[in-house]
Structure 1
Amino acid sequence: MLNLLLTLAVAAAPHAKPATNTKCPVLGGKVTEKSKTVAVRGQEYRLCCGGCDAQLLKDPDKYLEKDGTPKNAKKP
C-alpha cells in the first residue's frame, strides 16, 4: 500500500524541478543520475536507497531547508 501511495505522489508531481542533489537528503549516501527520485514540494530529490523515499515524504521539514535545499548539503 505504501508503495502505491509513493508512486501516486511521484506521479502527481509532473512539473517538479529535476533533481540536482549529489547526496541523499535522508542518509547522506552518494547518489547518481540513475538513483531513485522522489518529488517533494515541486522539487525532485535523488535518494541512496529504497527506504529513504518514505522518510522524506513523511517528514520533509526534517531533511529539507525552507527553500528546498537538503539540510545535509554543503554550505558555501
Structure 2
Amino acid sequence: MLAPLLALSILAAPAAKPATNAICPVLGGKVTEKSKTVVVRGREYRLCCGGCDATLAKNPDRYLEKDGTPKNAKK
C-alpha cells in the first residue's frame, strides 16, 4: 500500500527550477552544466564539490537571498 502512495507523491511533486548559477553558492568555485546539483527550496543549484550540497541544504539562509539568488552572485 505504501508503494502506490510514494509513487503518487513523486509524480505530484513540482519540478525544481533549473540551476542558473555560474559559481558555487557555498565556496564560490566555478561550476558547469555537468557539476553536481542540489535542490533547495524548489530550486536547483550547481555546486563546485560534493561537500557543498549538505552545507547549502543545512543552512540555505547563509548562502541564498530570500528570492533564491546566491548571495555571492555578482550584481
TM-score strictly above 0.5:
yes
- Whether 2:31 is the aligned partner of 1:39: answer no
- What's 2:26 paired with? 26
- The two structures have a TM-score, normalised by structure 2, of 0.81
SS state at 2:39 partner: strand
TM-superposed deviation, 1:14: 5.4
Q: Which has the larger radius of gyration?
A: 2
User: Unpaired segments of 5 or more residues in structure 1?
Assistant: 1-10
CA RMSD of aligned residues (A): 1.4
User: How many percent of aligned residue pairs carry the same amino acid?
Assistant: 84
SS state at 1:55 partner: helix
User: Unpaired segments of 5 or more residues in structure 2?
Assistant: 1-9
